[in-house]
Amino acid sequence: MKRLSLILVLIMFLLISSALFGEDGDESSPPVLVDISELAGETGAVLRFDYWKGIYELRKGSRSVRFTAGTSWYLLNYTELRPELVSELTKDGHFLIDYETAAVIKEFFVKASPGSYGIKYIVLDPGHGGKDPGAIGYYLDDNNEKKALNEKDVVLETAMETAALLEARYPDKEVILTRSDDRYLKLEERTGIANSVELAENESMIFVSIHANASFNSKARGFEVWYLPPEYRRDLIDPESFKDIDSDVLPILNTMLEEEYTIESVILGEKLLVSLDGQVGNLTENRGPKEESWFVVRNAKMPSVLIELGFVTNNDEAVLLASHAYLKKLSKGIYNGVVDFINDYEHTRGYIK
Ligand SMILES: [Zn+2]
């Protein structure tokens, strides 16, 4: 009897060790797989699944790990591609990964620093400038004199005012203006300024482009916020850095990354509309959110929106946009929206542990 149980124990031991160290042992033995929902429980990460895109994400604080079924890699913190993943999607919808990868991910989450994670840079981009006046409108001043109103001046003053408010509120963040005087900047110079900022692991940034509108319809008025259509894919991942990877994989990776920016851009856009409405909603129209792939929005590799403050081609609105008091209100509106977004991003949604 005793010998039998000893043999059983020995067999058990062999089975377990061959499973655990399958790589060194029998080639045919299947790897030990770990359910990522269990991994979430063990590490305190939150597991999300995007049904339409087929993306699984484990998230804890600033740290994210993403998987898609049927591939042999996973994406660490939005940018770092790790190959050699063994995974399996069970019939009842459980996503399993190999033991070695699970150990790496566990370590990755354990190391997640409890320190602050947040928006470190706020890029404000007043449109046009210098030889490019942007939209031009006309209005009658108090003396009934016809005056021209340049978009480039309206947006610069608003951006500068907003920057001053944000700088006072956030001494620990950096507010970057793509221009702070009447100078001409190419579109790619604007996004280049933003994209060249080197972010630390716990830092993030947002991009807010500020414009004023024009229309052949002189009655058109109001503010609006544009962001990238969710289905639009920017080339966020440089193919050069993933030379060894099957090129079919890059679009999927881009989708994984884009999903993050799109969600943030929509949230930022919605908050800006609410806060602008709070400031000037009684004076002009809230034209709501718009979706468009403007160059600046498209090429800023971060959550980004474009605000149209109002129509310089509408006589009444041009009078408003020509007044410093009104631009102060618009600046306060942008400021409030950004603050609300940052509060939400850094606290409510659990980025700070
Ligand atoms: Zn413009």
Q: How far is the CA of 234 from the centre of ligand 1 (A)?
A: 22
| Residue reference for tokens 């939150």 | 46
| Centre of ligand 1 from the C-alpha of residue 159, in Å | 13
* Residue 339 scores a pLDDT above 70: yes
How many Å lie between the centroid of ligand 1 and the Cα of residue 235?
Answer: 24
Max mean pLDDT range (22-31, 193-202, 320-329)? 320-329
Distance of CA 243 from the midpoint of ligand 1 (Å): 38
- Reported in sequence order, the residue ranges of the chain that DSSP labels E, i.e. its strands, are 33-35, 46-50, 55-60, 63-68, 73-76, 80-83, 87-89, 95-98, 118-126, 136-140, 146-150, 174-177, 203-213, 223-227, 286-291, 304-311
Q: Are 205 and 119 in contact (CB under 8 A)?
A: yes
C-beta separation of 349 from 46 below 8 A: no
**For residue 22, how far is its CA from the centre of ligand 1 (angstroms)?**
61
Q: Which residue has the higher pLDDT, 70 or 299?
A: 70
**Following DSSP, what letter does each residue of 134-154 receive, concatenated?**
-SEEEEE-TTS-EEEEEHHHH
Helices (H) and strands (E) in the chain, counts: 9, 16
In the chain, CATH 3.30.457.10 sits at 24-110
Centre of ligand 1 to C-alpha 337, Å, is 20
Pick the CATH number of 24-110 from 3.30.457.10, 3.40.50.10420, 3.30.565.10, 3.20.20.70: 3.30.457.10
For ligand 1, the distance from its centroid to the CA atom of residue 312, given in whole angstroms, is 11
Taking the C-alpha atoms of residue 10 and residue 267, their distance in angstroms, rounded to an integer, is: 58
> How many angstroms separate the alpha carbon of residue 136 from the centre of ligand 1?
10
Distance 135 CA to ligand 1 centre (A): 6
For 1-47, what is each residue's pLDDT tens digit? 455 565 555 555 555 554 454 444 445 677 789 999 999 988 888 89
In the reported structure, the alpha carbon of residue 128 is separated from the centroid of ligand 1 by a whole-number distance in angstroms of 6
Classify domain 118-348 by CATH architecture.
3-Layer(aba) Sandwich (3.40)
Q: Which has the minimum average pLDDT: 58-72, 105-119, 172-186, 195-209? A: 105-119
Among candidate residues 102, 98, 105, the one with its CA nearest the CA of residue 63 = 105
Percent of the chain with pLDDT over 70: 79
Residue 314 scores a pLDDT above 70: yes
The predicted pLDDT at position 352 comes to 38
When mean pLDDT is compared across 77-86, 255-264, 303-312, 342-351, the lowest value belongs to 342-351
The segment(s) of the chain belonging to CATH 3.40.630.40 are 118-348
316 alpha carbon – ligand 1 mean position (Å): 19
Q: What is the pLDDT of residue 123?
A: 95
Q: If you average pLDDT over residues 198-206, what whole number do you get? A: 82
Question: What is the Å distance from ligand 1's center to 150 Cα?
Answer: 10
- What would you report as the CA-atom Rg of the chain, rounded to the nearest whole angstrom? 26
Whether pTM > 0.85 for this model: the answer is no
